Chain A
Amino acid sequence: MRLMRPALLLLPTFLISIAVAAQQPPRRDPEAVAILTQCLNAAGGAQALTAVRDFSAPGTIIYFWAGKEVQGRAMIRGRGTNDFRVDANLPEGTRSWVGSFGHGSTRDPGGPVKAIPAHNTLNLGALSFPQLKVAAVVNNSSLSIQYVGLVDLNGRRTYVIHVKQALSPSVDPDGILSHLTAMDFLIDSTTYEILLVRDTVHPDDNATQDLVHEVEFSDYRLTNSCVVPFSITERVNGQRTWTIQLSAIRFNAGLTDSDFQL
C-alpha cells in the first residue's frame, strides 16, 4: 500500500512524458536557421543550389594508409543528397565506393564488392558538396536544427550547428536512428563557408559506439553560380584517411541509378 501512491503517480507521469515527447515538433533554433540561410546565400543562393540535381568532378586523391600515401586520379559523382560515388585510379587498380542513404558498397582493386554497414551510410550523400546538405536541411521541417555556439577552428571563429532527424519515440524508441543521422556543421562566422562537417561512424558490428568522422572543406571556387569546395579531407577518429583535390566540377549531367551501383 505504501508503494501504491508513488507507483500510481510515477507510471502515468512516465507514460505521459513519452506521449508529450512524441507530439513535440522538431527543435529549430531561429539563429541556427538564419546562419544556415546565410551559408546558402554565400554559396550562390538556395535557388542555384536546388537547381543542382547531380554533379561530376574529376581530381586527384591521396589515401593515407598506415603511414603510406597512395595517390591517384579520382572521379566523384553525386546525385541530390542521397547518392555519392568515388572512383580512385590507384597504382594497384581502381578502388570504388558508393553510398546512398541506408546502403553502400566498396570494391578494392581486384577484390569483391563488399557492403558498407547501413549505419555508416546515412550521411554519405553529397559528401564533397556540403551546401547541398544544408539546402536540404533548411527545407526539411522534420529535422531538428540547434545552434550550439561559436568555437575556434584552425584560428577561425566558426558557428556550430547541430542537425539531426527528429523521430518520434514510436519510430525510434531508443533514439538510435536519430543519433546516427546527427551532424555538426562548422561554418565560418565571417565568410559563411562550411569548414567542416562532423558526424559519427561506427564499428561494423556495433551501431551504438561512436567514432568521430570529420570532413574538412577548403579552396572554395565559384563554378556555375555556385561556390564549391575543391579540397576535401576526411578524418576518422582523428586519423586522416584521404584528401581529394578537385580540378573541375560539372552539374546536371543526367546521372542515373546505374552510376551509383558497383
Chain B
Amino acid sequence: MRPQVYTKLRSTSCRDGEQRHARFRGHLCRGLFLMTIICIMFKTAEAQNYLTQTGSPSFTTSQPVELGFVNVANGNLHLEIPLGYFPQRGSRGFAAKLIYDSRIWQVVTTTSSTWQPNNVLTVIHGEAGDW
C-alpha cells in the first residue's frame, strides 16, 4: 500500500513540478523578451518638453481661435489654413494646409546670444540622427 501511495505522490508531485517549471519558463521568456525590447527601444526614446512642443500635442489644454488654437500651457499659437482636400485611391485622402506655429524661437548662448528657430534642419557629417 505504502509504496503505491509514494509512487502516486511522487508522480503527482513530478507532474506539478513540470507544470510549475513550464510556467516559470513561460514567465521568464516573456520577461526576457520584454527586457530585450525595452533595452533596444530605450535609446530611441526622447524626452518631450511641453514648453517647446508645437502643433497639437497630446493632452493639450487649448483656447480656440479662428483657424486654430492657443496651447495655454506654453503659449504656442497654432494655425491651420486649409488649401484643399483631394481624395486618393486609398481610404486616406490628401489635405493640403498652410500650418503656422508661433513658438519656434529659442535662445542659443555661446560666444554671443542668438535667437534660433527650432524647425530648421542641420547637417553635420558622420553623426547619428543627422538630416
Contact yes or no, A236 B109, CB < 8 A: no
Which residue of chain A is the closest to B52 with respect to CB atoms?
A206
Contact A116 B49 (CB under 8 A): no
A213 touches B110 (CB 8 A): yes
Q: Quick one: which of A104-142 are within 8 Å of B by CB?
A: 106, 114, 116-117, 120-121, 124, 127
When the two chains form their complex, are residues B126 and A210 in contact, meaning their CB atoms are under 8 A apart?
no
| Shortest Cβ distance from residue B5 to the other chain A in the assembled complex, whole angstroms | 33
Contact of B102 with A by CB under 8 A:
no
Q: What is the CA–CA distance of A205 and B29 in the complex, to the nearest angstrom?
A: 41
**Interface hits, A186-243 → B, CB 8 Å:** 198-206, 208-213, 234, 236-237, 239, 241-242
Contact of B110 among A4, A11, A116, A210 (CB under 8 A): A116
Cβ-defined contact, A206 with B106, below 8 A? yes
Q: Tell whether A7 is near chain B: CB-to-CB under 8 Å.
A: yes
A3-B29, A7-B36, A204-B107 as given contacts; A241 in contact with B122, CB under 8 Å: no
Q: Does B120 contact A (CB under 8 A)?
A: yes
CB <8 Å contact, B116 and A8: no
- Total number of B residues with any Cβ neighbor in A under 8 Å: 37
- Contact (A4, B25) CB under 8 Å given A182-B127, A242-B111: yes
- Name the interface residues of A8-27: CB closer than 8 Å to any CB of B: 8, 10-11, 14
Q: Is the CB of A1 within 8 A of B36?
A: no
CA distance in complex: A120, B110 (Å): 6
Q: Would B125 and A184 count as touching, CB distance under 8 A?
A: yes
Known contacts: A236-B116, A237-B116. The answer to whether A106 contacts B35 by CB under 8 A is no
Interface residue from A8, A120, A127, A175 paired with B108 (Cβ < 8 Å)? A120
* A162 CB–B CB distance under 8 Å: yes
A204 near B36 with CB under 8 A, answer no
Chain B residues with Cβ under 8 A from A202's Cβ?
A: 108
- Asked if B122 and A211 make an inter-chain contact with CB atoms under 8 angstroms apart, the answer reads yes
Does chain B have a CB within 8 A of A257?
Answer: no
> When the two chains form their complex, are residues B125 and A209 in contact, meaning their CB atoms are under 8 A apart?
no
A-B contact pairs, 12 of them (CB 8 A): A1-B25, A4-B29, A4-B32, A7-B29, A8-B29, A11-B32, A198-B124, A200-B124, A211-B120, A212-B123, A234-B111, A241-B114
